[in-house]
Amino acid sequence: MHVLGIDIGGTGMKAAPVDVATGTLLDERKKIATPKPATPQACVEVVRELAESFGWTGVTGATFPGVVTNGTVRTAANVDHAWIGTDAAGLFGKAIGNDVTVLNDADAAGIAEMTFGAGKGEQGTVLMLTFGTGIGSALFTGGLLLPNTEFGHIEIRGHDAEKRASEQAKTLHDLSWAKWAGRVDEYLQQMEALLSPDLIIVGGGISKESNKWVPLLTGLRARIAPAGLLNDAGIVGAAMAAAGIATSR
């Protein structure tokens, strides 16, 4: 089955058609900068443009960087707050002319990683974290997803963790790999104390440079693995969710 996956982030919006049986992209992904401000109408226009760039009229899934329940946005930390309470699934569906399944971006990435990537076959507790504009999270146990965890907003040193340890924080504060990895390590130790995961998968755009910082994470009992699908995981997971392949508690 071929499904269009659209991944909406605080910095960029990207899409590609996906073969959900194999988790592979069927065409080169398209990426457009997230509008500033990232209002619902501005983002809807980008979703329309992305779908039209592939001539797409079929099954479609999309992610959103916040809590999403039944297609409606509940939080919007890294995009315009006008999204809160918005029926994203309805807006996107109207824009492209067919139904769109919408879910949290990190949940989508986690679904893809648990099926095709670093979490494949794992039955224990798995924590997926995506480092980008913020920090997204997805939690699995026995292969099932507990949706909308949003662990990037736990407090570390008086601030949301993502304000200290996201990829954006590294860029904003011009942190060296070692300095930034120290902040990530502190955050992961906190998550380990709360959840005792067997495996922590680290994804997002910065996962493609995992060799520069994952070896510097030394204070953890859990295994650490870079995302196998790198920054395509959200696209693949969005497509899988729309195809009805994902399960959750």
- CATH at 19: 3.30.420.40
Among 201, 102, 107, residue whose Cα is nearest residue 148: 107
Can you give the pLDDT at residue 247? 53
Q: What is the mean pLDDT of residues 106-112?
A: 98
pLDDT digits (tens, 9 = 90+) for 131-169: 999 999 999 999 999 999 999 999 999 999 999 999 999
DSSP secondary-structure letter at 35? P
Helices 88-96, 40-53: axis angle to 10 degrees equals 40
In a domain, 248, yes or no: no
Rounded mean pLDDT, 1-22: 97
Domain membership of residue 78 as a residue range: 2-107+232-242
Please tell me whether residues 35 and 98 are part of one structural domain.
yes
- On whether residue 66 sits in a domain, the answer given is yes
| Same domain as 100, residue 39 | yes
Quick one: 126 and 182 in the same domain?
A: yes
Q: What is the pLDDT of residue 249?
A: 40
- The domain total for the chain is 2
Residue 190 domain-assigned?
yes
Q: At what angle do helices 105-116 and 233-242 cross, to 10 degrees?
A: 90
In this structure, are 127 and 192 located in the same domain?
Answer: yes
pTM to 2 decimal places: 0.96
- Inform me whether the pLDDT recorded for 246 exceeds 90: no
Closest residue by Cα to residue 3 from 71, 145, 190, 22: 22
Buried b (16+ CB within 10 A) or exposed e, 6-37: bbbbbbbbbbbbbebeebebeeebebbebbee
pLDDT for 46-104, tens place per residue? 999 999 999 999 999 999 999 999 999 999 999 999 999 999 999 999 999 999 999 99
Residue pair 35/47 in contact by the 8 Å Cβ criterion: no
Whether 215 has a pLDDT exceeding 50, the answer reads yes
Are 135 and 171 a contacting pair, CB within 8 Å? no
Residue 119: other Cβ atoms inside 10 A: 25
Q: What is the DSSP letter of 164?
A: H
Q: Does residue 247 belong to any structural domain of this protein? A: no
In a domain, 215, yes or no: yes
Residues 137 and 48 in one domain: no
Predicted confidence at residue 245, as pLDDT, reads 82
> Apex CA 18: angle with CA 14 and CA 19, to 5°?
170
User: What distance in Å separates the CA atoms of residue 65 and residue 239, rounded to the nearest whole number?
Assistant: 16
